[in-house]
Amino acid sequence: MIKFSVIGAGSWGSAMAYYLGKLGFTTKLWVREDEVLADLLQTGVNHTFLPGFDFPPTVSFYKSLAETVAGTEVVFIAVPSQFCRQIYLRLEENLNRGQILISLTKGLEQKTLKRMTEVMEEVFPASKKLKIGVLSGPSFAREVAAGHPTALVLASKDSGLTKDLQETISSLQLRIYTSTDVVGVELGGAVKNIIAIAAGISVGLGYGHNSRATLITRGLVEIIRLGLTLGAKRETFYGLAGLGDLVLTCTSELSRNYRVGLELTRGKSLRQILSEMKMVAEGVRNTLTVNKLAAQKKVEMPICHQVYEMLYKGKPAHKSLEELMSRSLKEEKV
């Protein structure tokens, strides 16, 4: 039976390892934090990032990256974007020829503005013939671990990879769709986090469903604009990695990015909000990278721009709303 590795024991990495283990697959989970590893080895529960779930005996826990990926065919990487390159560099010498690497990260690299699979292709030597893909879509970690029906999209340039892995890990709880649009799937996952911050701000200001529906709809337009400019397929953004993930993260306090927006309206500084969070809210860094990328490509993204102004320039939320609502009137185009 195929063996799996999961790099990163945050909520999503832990949930993926838990899910694979419950399916009966031998799964190795790499844990960065010493206290989390000690907790897992002693109790079999990740009380920090995935409390309430006892890992099955098919899942084992490691501190060594080399030991984690040794003897496994598929490696899922669930690491925040700012740490990905250094993890890839550490992994490189330990990977076997032909291993499958699947990114679970929803963000862009801050310095280069590259997607995670682009960083992988840059770091990993072509001689190893590694197979690279990304798995994304609407997926709160706790709900996946709890077995709530969930659907995700697996994208790769290698259609054989996606079909084989789709058949291997799909179940009654998790349905996998395939795609060849790696650009669209990765961008959808990154940009939706920024719109989620805007949605949290809107709700925190006391605005209702009309406002949130507007943000989701026009936010999707911004995602599509950037995606098409970078070569993505329009239809990808109407699917799980686009609209599906956007709706999820804009409508629930389980979303870390939504909560960032909500807490900003309660008088907390961004620094304070982030210091109180155990897990990374990718949308905060994505706001920087996506706005830089939009400026570089000359793509108009007014909602993302106003989130940047609020997070990093201290602009009052009501002023950002006023600017959004007073923009020149035009025909709706999607």
| Domains of the chain listed by start with CATH number | 4-180 (3.40.50.720), 183-325 (1.10.1040.10)
Nearest to 190 by CA among 67, 334, 298, 81: 81
* Closest C-alpha to 53, from 128, 142, 124: 142
Q: What is the mean pLDDT of residues 119-147?
A: 96
85 or 266, higher pLDDT: 85
Q: Is 278 a catalytic residue?
A: no
* pLDDT, mean over the chain: 95
Closest CA to 114 of 40, 183, 213, 58: 183
pTM of the model: 0.95
* Res 277 pLDDT > 90: no
C-beta of residue 114 within 8 angstroms of C-beta of residue 122: yes
What pLDDT, on the 0 to 100 scale, is given for residue 268? Answer: 87
The pLDDT of residue 131 is above 80: yes
The tokens describing 293, both together, are 């990328």
Contacts of residue 91, Cβ cutoff 8 Å, sequence gap at least 6: 7, 65, 69, 75
DSSP, collapsed to helix, strand or coil, labels residue 2 as: coil
Say which range, 155-159, 189-193, 214-218, 273-277, has the weakest mean pLDDT. 273-277
Residue 58: strand, helix, or coil: coil
Average pLDDT over every residue of 232-249: 98
Q: Is the dihedral of CA 119, 122, 125, 126 positive or negative?
A: positive
Question: Residue 8: what pLDDT?
Answer: 97
pLDDT at 278 over 80: no
Kindly report which listed range (117-126, 167-176, 277-286, 288-297) carries the lowest average pLDDT score: 277-286
Write down the catalytic residue from 111, 192, 233, 298: 192
